[in-house]
Amino acid sequence: MTTRPILYSFRRCPYAMRARMALLASGVTVEIREVVLRDKPPEMLAASAKGTVPVLVTADGVIDESLDIMRWALGASDPEGWLAGYDTALIAANDGAFKHHLDRYKYPERHGSDPIAHRAAGAEMLATLEERLTACSHLAGEQRTLADIAIFPFVRQFAATDRAWFDALPLPGVRRWLAALTDSPLFEAAMVRLPQWRAGDVPTLFGQ
Ligand SMILES: N[C@@H](CCC(=O)N[C@@H](CS)C(=O)NCC(=O)O)C(=O)O
């Protein structure tokens, strides 16, 4: 008997979003457990003590990094060819510098930061995405791939922090790309609302 993988997830977390989207694209069905970050279930902490979402518990072990979950799912099945767009440098820049600026723009009170300076630095990084998105509709060609899905949840947060300011930037390619991904049926399916998981709940399947 094969055990169904369990995904600990949080709907609004951009790392969890990209993991959920890759799972959906792969067609792998998991049991999803919606986590409240201030009330993490002991079952999740027992699987991964670092206490971040997403966490995927499989029959072969625990995967507690979102990119690794994406690659695990797509390694099992990759019908859209997302792994061809696994651009490690672009994703590292997003997860590193861009996320740094995003947090300090969005939550200046938490970081004691100057939001305007970090907003400008983030926008400068988006200009490099714009170069690609002027040449093609997605970051690694004409189809969505792992690079797009790994990065856009963070750009979505950046855009939403001050939508009017973002819309005035000279980044039409980024705006078109972001709208296409956020309006996609795949994103809608990944953003399903679920109640907080409690031990003993009837399992909620995700990806069917
Ligand atoms: N590098 C991790 C980062 C995951 C992460 O930082 N997730 C946040 C939520 S968006 C989290 O769980 N933070 C723990 C907390 O807020 O308690 C990954 O890619 O999975």
Report if residue 48 sits inside a domain: yes
CA of 172 to the centre of ligand 1 (A): 30
Q: Look at ligand 1, atom 9, and give the residue with the nearest C-alpha.
A: 13
Separation CA 115–CA 89 (nearest Å) = 25
CA of 168 to the centre of ligand 1 (A): 30
Tokens of 181: 């991904």
Separation CA 104–CA 110 (nearest Å) = 8
Report if residue 167 sits inside a domain: yes
- Do 121 and 51 sit in the same domain of this protein? no
Q: Taken in order 197, 10, 139, 146, is the CA torsion positive or negative?
A: negative
- Do 109 and 168 sit in the same domain of this protein? yes
What tens digit of pLDDT does each residue of 119-146 get?
A: 999 999 999 999 999 999 999 999 999 9
In this structure, what CATH number is given to the domain that contains residue 16?
A: 3.40.30.10
Does the global pTM surpass 0.95? yes
CA of 53 to the centre of ligand 1 (A): 5
CA of 125 to the centre of ligand 1 (A): 22
What tens digit of pLDDT does each residue of 160-202 get?
A: 999 999 999 999 999 999 999 999 999 999 999 999 999 999 9
Domain of residue 98: give its range: 82-185
Report if residue 1 sits inside a domain: no
Number of domains in the chain: 2
- Do 153 and 106 sit in the same domain of this protein? yes
- Do 116 and 179 sit in the same domain of this protein? yes
For ligand 1, residues with CB inside 6 Å are 10, 13, 15, 37, 51-54, 65-67
